[in-house]
A and B are shown apart, each in its own frame.
Chain A
Amino acid sequence: MTTTMTRTLTTAKRGDTSARYRATVGDVLFRIANYALFLLFAIICAYPFYYLIINSVSANDVSALGDVRLWPVGFHLSNYTQVFQLPGLPMATVVSVGRTVIGTVLTVLASAFLGFMFTQTRMWGRKFWYRFLIITMYFSAGLIPVFIIMKTLGLTNNFWVYVLPFVVQPFNVILAKTYVESMPRELQEAAEVDGANILQVFFRVYLPNMTPILATIAIFSAVTQWNSFQDTLIYITDQSLYTLQYLLYMFINQASSLAQAAQNAGGNLGQIAGVATQQTPTSIRMTVSVLVVLPIIFIYPLFQRFFVKGIMLGAVKG
Chain B
Amino acid sequence: MTTQAQAQTVFQEAAVHNLDKNSRKGRARRPRPAGSRTSFTLFLCIVPFLILAFLFSYLPLYGWIYSLYDYKPALGLEGSEFVGLQWFQMLVSSPTQMAQIGQVLMNTLAISFLGIATSVLPLFFAILLNEVKAPWFRNSVQTLTALPNFISWVLVYMIAFSLFSSSGLVNDVLNDAGLITTPIKFLDSDQNVWITMTLWSIWKGLGWGAIIYLASIAGIDQSLYESARIDGAGRFQLMRYITVPQLMPTYLVLLLLSIANILNNGMEQYYVFQNAFNKEWIQVLDLYVYNIGMTGNSLSLATAIGMLKSLISVALLLTVNAVSKRVRGESIV
State the A residues within 8 Å of B (CB): 11, 16-19, 27, 30-31, 34-35, 37-39, 41-42, 44-46, 48-49, 51-52, 55, 66-67, 69, 110, 113-114, 117-118, 120-126, 129, 132-133, 136, 138-149, 151, 153, 164-165, 167-168, 181, 189, 192-193, 195-200, 223, 226-230, 233-234, 245-246, 248-249, 252, 282, 285-286, 289, 292-293, 296-297, 300-301, 304, 307-308, 311-312, 314-318
Complex formed: what's the CA distance from A195 to B152 in Å? Answer: 48
Cα distance A293–B158 when bound, in Å?
11
Contacts of B152 in A (CB 8 A): 226-229, 245, 292
Interface size band for B: 35 or more
- Among B92-100, B107-115, B214-222, the stretch in contact with A: B214-222
Q: For the complex, what is the distance from the CA of A226 to the CA of B152, rounded to whole Å?
A: 8
- Name the A residues within 8 Å of B89 (CB-CB): none
Q: In angstroms, how far is the closest chain A Cβ from the Cβ of B74?
A: 12
**Known: A197-B35, A311-B212. Is A227-B145 also a contact (CB below 8 A)?**
no
A123-B39, A168-B52 known; A35+B66 contact, CB < 8 A = no
B9 at the interface (CB under 8 A from A): yes
Stretch with Cβ within 8 A of A (4 or more), from B43-51, B188-196, B276-284: B43-51
Q: Is the CB of B33 within 8 A of A38?
A: no
Partner of A66, one of B59, B167, B226: B167
Q: Is the interface of B mostly helix, strand, loop or mixed?
A: helix
* B68 lies within 8 A of chain A by Cβ: no
**B178-204 contact mask (Cβ, 8 Å, vs A): 1 or 0:** 000000000000000000000000010
Cβ-closest 4 pairs across A and B: A145-B63, A142-B306, A141-B60, A227-B152
Q: Return chain B residues, CB-CB under 8 Å to A149.
A: 55-56, 59-60, 63
Query: With a CB–CB cut-off of 8 A, which chain B residues contact A142?
Result: 60, 63-64, 289, 302-303, 306-307, 309-310
Residues of B close to A51: CB separation below 8 A: 159, 162-163, 169
> Are A168 and B43 interface neighbours, CB within 8 A?
no
Chain A residues near B155 (CB, 8 Å)?
A: 227, 245, 248, 289, 292-293
In the complex, which of the residues A38, A136, A200, A246 contacts B132, with contact meaning CB atoms closer than 8 Å?
Answer: A38
Could you tell me the distance in whole angstroms from the C-beta of A172 to the nearest C-beta in chain B?
A: 12
Query: By the criterion CB–CB under 8 Å, are A35 and B37 in contact?
Result: no
In the complex, which residues of chain B have a beta carbon less than 8 angstroms from the beta carbon of A199?
45
B28 within 8 A of partner (CB) = no
**Chain A residues within an 8 Å CB radius of B42:** 117, 120, 122-124, 198
Q: Which residues of A contact B252 (CB under 8 A)?
A: none
CA–CA, A103 and B145, complex, Å: 27
| Besides the known contacts A141-B307, A227-B154, 20 further A-B residue pairs in the complex with CB atoms under 8 A apart | A17-B222, A31-B131, A34-B132, A41-B207, A52-B159, A121-B16, A125-B43, A142-B60, A164-B52, A196-B35, A198-B37, A198-B42, A227-B151, A228-B152, A230-B271, A252-B154, A293-B151, A293-B155, A308-B142, A308-B211
**Contact flag A312-B63 (CB < 8 Å), given A37-B128, A124-B39, A192-B36:** no
CA distance A75 to B132 in the complex (A): 37
Q: Given A117-B45, A149-B60, A167-B49, decide whether A285 and B303 contact each other with a Cβ distance below 8 A.
A: no
Residue interface mask B96-135, A partner, CB < 8 A = 1? 0000000000000000000000000000000011011100
Q: From known contacts A38-B141, A123-B39, A142-B303, infer whether A153 and B55 are also in contact, taking CB-CB under 8 Å.
A: yes
Is B61 among interface residues, defined by CB-CB distance under 8 A? Answer: yes
Cβ of A297 to closest chain B Cβ, rounded Å: 7
- B141: contacting residue among A17, A41, A67, A168, CB under 8 A: A41
A contact patch SS: helix
In contact, B57 and A138 (Cβ under 8 angstroms) = no
Could you tell me the distance between the alpha carbons of A285 and B45 in the complex, rounded to whole angstroms? 47
Distance between A79 CB and nearest chain B CB, rounded to angstroms: 15
Selected A-B contacts with CB under 8 Å, 8 pairs = A142-B306, A193-B33, A195-B35, A229-B153, A229-B154, A296-B151, A312-B218, A316-B215
Most chain A Cβ neighbours within 10 Å, of B17, B66, B155, B219: B155
Smallest beta-carbon distance B112→chain A, Å: 17
Which chain A residues lie closer than 8 Å to B207 at the CB level? 41, 45
Partner of A144, one of B17, B133, B172, B289: B289
B251 contacts the other chain (CB 8 A): no
CB nearest neighbor in A for B65: A145
- Would B218 and A34 count as touching, CB distance under 8 A? no
Chain B residues, Cβ within 8 Å of A143: 267, 286, 289-290, 293-294, 302, 306
When chains A and B are docked, how far (Å) is the Cα of A70 from the Cα of B66?
Answer: 55
Instruction: Check A316–B218 contact: CB distance below 8 A.
Output: yes
B53 sits at the interface (CB 8 A): yes
Asked if A181 meets B299 with Cβ closer than 8 Å, knowing A121-B13, A168-B53, the reply is no
